[in-house]
Amino acid sequence: MKKIDDSKIYLTIFIVPLIIAVIICGISLYSIIVVESKAKALIDSEVSKSMKEGYIMLRNGGLFGEHNHWDMDGDIVRKSIRYYDNQIYNEAELTKDDKRYLNEILSRRESGSNLGIKTSLFLLIVSITGLAAYIFENINRIISWVIFSLKRLS
């Protein structure tokens, strides 16, 4: 019976999750480093205009921190977004009391970014598993190639 060569499948299992992990990790790190830190500084300033800018930055929940999921935290954030959209539309001033709700929205965004990092790590593990399977499948071919390369160099 002929041995089936699954090298292409293992290579695909290595490459595809790796690419997806890099993309998700990049988006999540950008959110953590740039968006969330700047929004936190704007919200903490307690100046109405800055707080509005911070809210606008956080209005979109990011990759995994969307507000349309039906959980308890998502409901609080969704109601807060409706309220602050109305406040900004009516050009109302934001006060120190609004800081708590803006921090709830920020917390949801941070949770989404952390989930993105954890998802990237999971996909990286899947990718490494695919690489290990590829190496195991082709160990004789890899060893022959290394020996051939070393002989050629000397």
Q: For residue range 106-122, list pLDDT tens digits in order.
A: 988 898 899 999 999 99
Using CA atoms, how far apart are residues 6 and 36, in angstroms rounded to an integer? 43
Amino acid, single-letter form, for residue 103 = N
pLDDT value of residue 67: 67
Q: Of the candidates 20, 51, 15, 17, which has an alpha carbon nearest to the alpha carbon of residue 28?
A: 20
Q: What is the pTM of this model?
A: 0.81
- Encoding tokens for residue 125? 């593990």
The arithmetic mean of pLDDT across residues 88-104, rounded, is: 87
CA distances (Å), origin 134, targets 1, 7, 121, 138, 144: 21, 6, 20, 6, 15
CA distances (Å), origin 154, targets 6, 33, 106, 149: 33, 49, 60, 9
φ, ψ of residue 71 to 5 degrees: the values are -125, 175
pLDDT value of residue 1: 67
